[in-house]
Amino acid sequence: MNKYIWKGILDKYKASATLKAAIPRMYLIEAPQEKIEQRGAYPYCVVIPIASDKEYTFTEAADNLQVQFSIYDDDDTVATINDAADKLKAVFDFASITVTGYNHICMQQEYSELMHEDKYWHQVVVYDLIIQKTR
């Protein structure tokens, strides 16, 4: 994921006080373990680029990226992570992401799943992001 796409996602996240209140921390690819081990570090989100490919027409080219948002929570109940996921989806479903050097085409949710791993909840939300290089 290039730095401009990450910046566009981070800017969209930071612009939503509601989302920042529900998920106080967002990281790219992995969360720093020393911060996660601190008390009160949950919930948090890790953004992971899954796949990237190019789409071509006769006159234009677009980048199609799959981006995974992984939300983690250590609460005993599912309520906190469900609320966080709902707020994330409210911000990013069909969102317009500003990416330097690109025109935004589409951001749509492809997949969402809630899992319980050991003593943690893990909510995965995958998006397709299509952007087109500006000329």
What distance in Å separates the CA atoms of residue 48 and residue 50, rounded to the nearest whole number? 6
Domain boundaries, the chain: 3-133
Q: For domain 3-133, give its CATH number from 3.40.190.80, 3.10.180.10, 3.30.2000.30, 2.70.98.50.
A: 3.30.2000.30
What distance in Å separates the CA atoms of residue 21 and residue 11, rounded to the nearest whole number? 15
What distance in Å separates the CA atoms of residue 72 and residue 13, rounded to the nearest whole number? 16
pLDDT tens for 52-101 read 787 777 677 778 899 999 999 999 899 999 999 999 999 999 999 998 88
Q: Give me the chain's average pLDDT, please.
A: 89
